[in-house]
Structure 1
Amino acid sequence: MEELNRTESKVRMASNRADIVKKENVYILVGAIVLAVIFNILFYKKGFGISYPIFVLFFYGVVIFTQRDKIELKLNFGTLLTIPIILLSLTYALFSNWIFKVLNFMIIPILIIAQTLLITNNNYYKWFDARFIFDLLGGMLLRSLLYVSEAFVLLSEISKRKIRSGRASTVTKIIAGLVLSIPLLLVVISLLSSADKVFDYWMENVRYLFINVNIADFIVQMIIGVFISIIAFSYLWSLYYKKEKDFPKAIGECIRIKKIWDPIIVLTVLVSVNLIYVVFTVIQFGYLFGSIGSLLPEGVTYAEYARKGFFELVLVTLINVSILTSIINLTKTENPIISNVIKIMNSCLVACTMVMLLSAHFRMSLYEQEYGFTYLRVFTHAFMLYIFALLVVTLIKVWRENFYLLKSYIVISVIAYLALNYFNVDAFIAKNNIRRYELNSNETIDTYYLRYLSNDAVAYIVKLLESEDEQVVYNIKVGLKYRKSMLTSESYWQTFNLSDYRAKKILDKYDFGE
């Protein structure tokens, strides 16, 4: 009986393996190999440029072709994610800010995983459910690895079927013969080249005439290609064959948000905090309208006052946002009267926090007037605008319980990050620092900081070559000379970047000497 069961089990396994060889699976395998080849062509030993959006488009082509039976294209968040993904990938061809290059390298794949899960209906949780994070983690950590073995099983069954059927084509046999002959040819050619210098000369000419092959590079590219292809295959396979039970579902079902905070305790805390914030807000109004100047200690300037309090205000703002979201999601709403009072207190907290943001904005503006613009200061302004937008939708949530707060947070975050990418922060910093320097003859300018801005700022930096300060001109010349030498170095079409191209055109007009 046991022998019979084992035999039946083997038959079922053989049948399952035979079923794996169907056109849908072959398409997935071919698509994964195509992506690996394109990856090597675009990125091996090359920097990111126009290659990044090209690869993204190829990836989408493979996804659409291999998942065409599974994709549901509707005018929803999943489909609309195409816009930020394409626009963010284009930044590698349009701008040269290194901060966004690093951030986008991590963010774009996350957005792609989120979108492919949504449009193929492979998500267990809605995109505005906090537990959707487990879908993302499953996509990043599991889907790319769990089905690697299926690729080898598929290849094995394809080769066995060819052998068993005896229908292997002549071309297939020729290719197999060439592959087997490569190691032998390499050994023979190497020995003959050592034995005869004339033969060695002609072999070198032939090698450079057709293709300059570096064996080490070829091996590395093969390893990269195999790695990329099996990762891509596993992910595409996981999208096509949806499983009923998976890691995201198992973990997510164990986590549920429950309203457990007592409303009386929450109300007491809110009243206490709001009393302090109201007093602080009154003082801030005096500061914002200028009367605070008479209250400053002797010798303390606006800029010093601004610098000292700015980061503390930002930290308090973040604490307040955390308090608000926690109260909204965790506080019991049994008594309608107490619930309405809590809403009023939450609204007061939002209003006070907005005043703090406004105060922090003016503090940072004063500090920039005194010391100029930097990445940190500009990004801080952007962050404050972002927090202000979150506070607005949080206030809506306070009075409308059926309002999806996390949905609004996600949409605002995507739009804000996309806008920041296209704001061209390097050009803004250079333009405003130079304007500040030109308008006030007593001001200095940090030429060393300008030299380390990206090529997006070159069009403004060259204006300092006309400065009357010889030291400023000298420092800028040194920086631009080095920048020009880097731009004239050999590059590939895959690394084309519009910002670098424009900077090179501008710098080619100047002769910085030896």
Structure 2
Amino acid sequence: MDRAMPSVLVAVATSGLVAALALSPARPGLGWLITALAMAVAVTVAARSTETSVRKRNPGWAILAVALIAVGVFRDSRWLFVLCVITALVAASLAVAGTSLRGAVEAPINALTRLHWLRRGVREIRPRGNARTLLAVAISAVLLVVFGGLLVSADPAFETLVRSLVPTVDSSSAFVSVTMFVAAALFTTGLCWAMTQPQPESSLEVPEVSLRRVEWVLPISVLVLLFAAFVSVQLPALFSVAGDLPYAEYARRGFWQLLVVTALTLGVIGLASRLAPRETSADRIWLRVLLGALALLSLVIVAGAAARMWVYQEEYGFTVLRVLVLACELWLGLVYLLVIAAGVRLRGSWLPGVAVATGMAALLGLAVLNPDRLIADGNIDRLGRTGKIDYFYLTKLSADAAPALRRLPQPQRDCLLYWPTTALAKAPDSWREWNLARAQARSWLVERHAPCADVPLRN
């Protein structure tokens, strides 16, 4: 199909309009979920009404994308929501373009490269007598503005209702609305193109390479022996539960190296499983034994790295970066378990899609756990054990941490709750910005300024 069908044009325009009216990019909120749902419905309707829709749809990815966007309704953490939005875009692309590396980025790429397809669709509807329809739309808009303006000026209650539903129009808000319209319309274009066009031939196919057994067994064996030596020497330190300061510094120093090692090893295992021959039973035995051993040793290193990070957090306190990296390590451990499961039968075509899905599910699970509150709770628990806490860092957390901050003793409690709650009270959410965490934090407003001068922000 060399042009966008009318149903696609309607989907693009609908998504753009909903985004322009509902999205507030400054804050996570209800408008993001409304826009995601509108976009999902618009693309689905466009695909079903287009006879040339040939790709297999995967509603599971679409549901995951909407769930990730829904995080903005319940969590106020900006860094968490940004990760969820980026991941949701990838999930939406996979839903319409197929589970592959190309499918993960096809919709965003199409959004920037398929404008000619959209233009042809617009040009095609011009000579078909739609001028009257456009005239009817214009007349409707004029009537809405004229009579709506008169009714707004006639009744204060109706004016309040309209102002709550319609965003204030000024230069800055108009620019934001136009930007949101363009972004949503472009991404919807990319989704519709991927849904209505045949699957393109991949240009990333790895050529068939015939390796002799020694050509892959030797390097993998060397790596296995190296990992085995490292694990045997470092096993006591990897899983030590000592909480002394020297070990905490040792854990910090070794963690990043172990994280890089585990990530690189996944690439080595994937390449070896792709290139190694498996025609004979001996080939398959070598493949299972060596790659299985490498995966098991890597799993031990992953567990050791996670243990190091946990002990380091227990000693120095919880932060966003440390919690996020620990979650990544736990996900890598799950991926290695999947690798071992795929290696048992030497069938791993399902592995990339499942690994990506578990990563997205892990991010969604992290959002359910409420990381900012988890960080605040961890630091408050550390205060009870060690008497040490960084109050200044707690003040930088989002409204998600407010329930944990209520556990602090006075005057620290009111001091740390005063600034965020009063800031939220001065900047109420509109309907499109409504967020459960911020609404809950406002209910704990500290109206009287606490004596923060007597509270040491760093302890």
Q: TM-score, normalised by structure 2?
A: 0.80
Could you tell me which residue of structure 1 aligns to residue 36 of structure 2? 56
Cα gap change, 1:138/1:261 in structure 2, threshold over 3 Å: closer, same or farther?
Answer: farther
For residue 410 of structure 1, what is the aligned residue in structure 2? 356
Q: Which of structure 1's runs of 4+ aligned residues deviate more than 6 A?
A: 208-213
Determine the structure 2 residue equivalent to 1:484.
421
1:385 to 327, 330, 335: 330
Secondary structure of the 1:255 match is coil
Is 1:301 matched with 2:239?
Answer: no
Residue 507 of structure 1 aligns to a residue in which SS?
A: coil
Which of 435, 438, 444 is residue 500 of structure 1 equivalent to? Answer: 438
Q: Is the 8 A contact 2:28 2:72 kept in 1?
A: yes
Q: CA deviation at 1:226?
A: 7.1
C-alpha displacement at 1:372, in angstroms? 1.2
Q: Distance in 2 between matches of 1:459 and 1:38?
A: 33
Could you tell me whether the CA contact under 8 Å between 1:29 and 1:233 is conserved in 2?
no
1:319 corresponding residue in structure 2: 264
Using the alignment, how far apart are the partners of 1:323 and 1:412 within structure 2? 21
Question: Between Structure 1 and Structure 2, how many residues are aligned?
Answer: 434
Residue in structure 2 matching 1:34, options 14, 17, 24 = 14
Q: Assess if the C-alpha contact under 8 Å between 2:93 and 2:108 holds in 1.
A: no
Look up the match of 1:12. none
Moved more, 333-342 or 359-368: 333-342
What is the match of residue 407 of structure 2?
463
2:368 aligned with 1:422: yes
1:351-375 Cα offsets, whole Å, 9 max, x none, are: 2112212222222222122111111
Q: Which of residues 80, 97, 100 is equivalent to 2:77?
A: 97
Equivalence for 2:227: 277
Structure 1 contact 50–494 (Cα < 8 Å) conserved: yes
Indicate conservation of the 8 Å contact 2:7/2:49, yes or no. no
CA RMSD, aligned part only?
Answer: 4.0
Distance 1:53 1:132 in 2: 23
Is contact 1:147-1:234 (8 Å) kept? no
Match among 384, 402, 416 for residue 438 of structure 1: 384
Query: Which of residues 200, 203, 213 in structure 2 aligns to 1:249?
Result: 200
Letter of the 1:425 counterpart:
P
TM-aligned CA deviation for residue 222 of structure 1: 8.2
1:175 paired residue number? 139
User: Which of 87, 112, 118 is matched with 2:92 structurally?
Assistant: 112
Q: Structure 1 residues 378, 229: CA separation in 2 closer, same or farther (over 3 Å shift)?
A: closer
CA contact (8 A) 1:49 1:495 kept: yes
One-letter code of the match for 1:274?
V
1:283 Cα shift?
A: 2.3
- Equivalent position of 1:512 in the other structure: 449
What is the aligned counterpart of 2:112 among 136, 141, 145? 141
After superposition, residues 232-381 of structure 1 pair within 5 angstroms as 234-235=189-190, 238=193, 241-242=196-197, 249-250=200-201, 252-253=202-203, 255-287=205-237, 301-381=246-326
Task: Render the CA deviation track for 1:424-482: whole Å, top value 9, x for unaligned.
Answer: 11111111110111133xx310001111111111111132242xxxxxx46x6454322
Distance 1:417 1:385 in 2: 11
Change (3 A) 1:478 1:63: same
Contact 2:306–2:329 (Cα < 8 Å) also in 1: yes
* 1:257 and 1:330 in contact (8 A); partners too: no
Q: Which amino acid aligns with 1:496?
A: W
Alpha-carbon shift at residue 495 of structure 1 (Å): 0.4
Judge conservation of contact 2:414–2:450 (CA < 8 Å) in 1. Answer: no
Q: Evaluate the alpha carbon distance shift between residue 223 and residue 64 of structure 1 in structure 2; reply closer, same or farther with a 3 A threshold.
A: same
Q: 1:459 touches 1:506 (CA, 8 Å); kept in 2? A: no
Give the Cα–Cα distance (whole angstroms) in 2 for the partners of residues 62 and 380 of structure 1: 37
- Identical pairs, percent: 18
* Aligned residue number for residue 452 of structure 1: 396
Give the unaligned 5+ runs of structure 2: 452-459
Secondary structure of the 1:403 match is coil
1:206-225 superposed matches below 5 A: 214=169, 216=171, 220=175, 224=179
User: Do the aligned partners of residues 59 and 513 (structure 1) sit closer, same or farther apart at CA in structure 2, a change above 3 Å counting?
Assistant: same
1:398 match: 343
Give the greater-gyration-radius structure (CA).
Answer: 1
- What does 1:60-79 align with in structure 2 at a 5 Å threshold? 60-69=40-49, 78-79=58-59
Unmatched runs of 5 consecutive residues or more in structure 1 = 1-15, 118-122, 183-201, 294-298, 467-472
Q: Distance in 1 between matches of 2:407 and 2:323?
A: 22
